[in-house]
A and B are shown apart, each in its own frame.
Chain A
Amino acid sequence: MRQRVFTIIENSPLTDRVSLLRLRGDCSEIQRPGQFVDLALPGFFLRRPFSVCDWTGDELRLVYEQAGQGTARLRDLPAGEKLDLLTGLGNGFDLSRAGDTPLLVGGGSGVSPLLGLARRLRKQGVQPRVILGFGRVEELFLTEDFYRLGLTPTVTTEDGSFGIRGLVTAAMDVPHSFLYACGPLGMLRAVSEKSPAPGQLSLDARMGCGFGACMGCSIRTVNGPKRVCKDGPVFDKEELLWDD
């Protein structure tokens, strides 16, 4: 983990509710896709956690959805503005377990970290299958970025306005060696139950610190209590307890 100042290069809407934030700064602390950054916003006490969408050299990409007051403030920040980030947080996805035919499943803002993951899997010579779930056609984002990697993502929309109608699970009947998923908890659970393969899931939690100091983000696992921010946010599917 490092504290670094980044400069906004671009902050532009991808859809009504989702924006792309391109930042310039020192990305050296980011080691794996699925790690996250914790961003200090002027006027707010707590930092906001966002998954690393992708990074190259000194450019960091985040994708954020409008959730409340902080993300509303973030949307107003112009290029040139400086942001204080804790970077390289969390464990990230383990690429060594992908196998030949990994399946990537993302829902809503959970699509974001899968792009960085897909790029690095491609670099390893692996061709992942990708399923991206949205509410309706107007909400699609990042799908072309997956095409640019030479991938053909399967898109699902809940109202059927694009791709397959239904939830991501409606498109999951494909054989796969390993599952990587990020999205709302309900989706993660459904996806995890549907997949016969081993896998890793990226979880979300309310955070106090983002780096393991406050015990604000704890979950119970088969291996005892874990901190989503420090021991996660990526957990082995087999490690999670779904009962509470």
Chain B
Amino acid sequence: MGRLSVNLCGIELSNPIIPASGTFGYGHEFAALYDINCLGTFSMKGTTRQPRFGNPTPRIAEAPAGMLNAVGLQNPGVDAVIAEELPRLAKVFHKPVIANVSGFSVEEYAEVSAKLAAQPQVGWLEVNISCPNVHGGGMSFGTEPAAAAEVTRAVRNVTDKPLILKLSPNVTDIVSIARACEGAGADALSLINTVLALRIDLKTRRPVLANVTGGLSGPAVFPLALRMVWQVSRAVKIPVIGLGGVSSAEDAVEMMLAGATAVQIGAANLKDPFACPNILRALPGVLDRLGVNNIRDIIGGAHG
């Protein structure tokens, strides 16, 4: 095991740096720039049963130190992901990948998860019960402990592969949702998804996004994400993947000190396509400066 390696639900990652779902496509844009096998793994774009075009445009707005998106889960549908994207991915990425799943009903979550879990390339399922940009699905499952547990149980029933539940920050008590998922059989939690937000165009006096609201991410949400990772990792025994605004090696270390076993990088990839390799290159130096040998030794280190 190298000094950057961590174990995520029984699968060893050569490092804890993982591009987040929706900001890395299926890897190809980045594979054209660098060898993406340097990453611990990555999380593929959220997949649903049916192909989805997503929301009307504009889907993107800027924020101080971040961005809003209302993409609305554009994806080709689970069958096309399996028939086309995974074989294409196999040519450029040779590690287990995270399949990110979304749905509009408990049955859809279970069906899509079962199909993806059956693919040998898929190492983990990450079930997104937190997308703020689709109506009548997504986030509603992530805002109620009972509904979150129901989705977790349904997916647990169809796979033995490591099951990650991705949590929404748009709740009053994230710990109760986290505990419900753990109780229903989740192997890990990832948090946070984007924070429900709004921008208004002063000239038109209308919301910038066609969807009206969108999800805020980027450095703006980092302290909020850190607080939630801290709270959740204290309350559960399963590993937590920390994300939300991470854009430097220092941020990644801070996230791990708060309790994260691994770290996902989202919006930073969009601003700087080399964000992940740059973080990876900087990490050993940061650990040296802090007198840390192995990165896994700092997980939860701030809890005392």
A residues with a Cβ closer than 8 A to B are 1, 3, 40, 44-47, 86, 205-209, 211-220, 225, 230, 244
User: What's the Cα separation between A205 and B23 when bound, in Å?
Assistant: 18
Determine how close the nearest CB of chain B comes to the CB of A22; give it in whole angstroms. Answer: 25
From residue B251, how far is it (CB to closest CB) to chain A in Å? Answer: 15
- Pairwise interchain contact A213-B67, C-beta atoms closer than 8 A: no
- A244 to B29: give the CA distance in the assembly, Å: 28
**Chain B contact residues: helix, strand, loop or mixed:** loop
Given contacts A45-B218, A214-B60, 7 further A-B pairs with CB under 8 A are A45-B62, A45-B219, A45-B267, A213-B23, A214-B22, A214-B69, A215-B22
Interface of A is mostly: loop
Q: Which of A3, A44, A206 contacts B60 (CB 8 A)?
A: A206
Taking the closest CB of chain B, its distance from the CB of A72, in whole angstroms, is 13
Min C-beta distance of A216 to chain B, whole Å: 4
Chain A residues near B66: list those with CB within 8 A.
45
For the A-B complex, the count of residue pairs with Cβ-Cβ distances under 8 Å equals 93
**In contact, B67 and A215 (Cβ under 8 angstroms):** no
Number of chain B residues whose Cβ lies closer than 8 Å to a Cβ of chain A: 36
Tell which of B51-59, B185-193, B289-297 binds the partner.
B51-59
Bound CA–CA A47/B59 (angstroms): 15
* Residues of B participating in the A interface, judged by any CB pair closer than 8 Å: 22-25, 28-30, 32-33, 45, 53-54, 56-67, 69, 71, 74, 218-219, 267, 269-274
Distance in Å from the Cβ of B134 to the closest Cβ of chain A?
13
Residues of A within 8 A of B60 (CB): 46, 206-208, 214, 216-217
Contact A206 B61 (CB under 8 A): yes
CA distance A230 to B66 in the complex (A): 22
Are A206 and B59 in contact (CB-based, < 8 A)? yes
Contact of A45 among B33, B56, B59, B271 (CB under 8 A): B271
- A sample of 16 inter-chain contacts (CB < 8 A) reads A3-B274, A40-B272, A45-B64, A45-B218, A45-B267, A46-B62, A47-B271, A206-B58, A206-B59, A208-B270, A211-B29, A212-B29, A213-B23, A213-B29, A215-B25, A244-B56
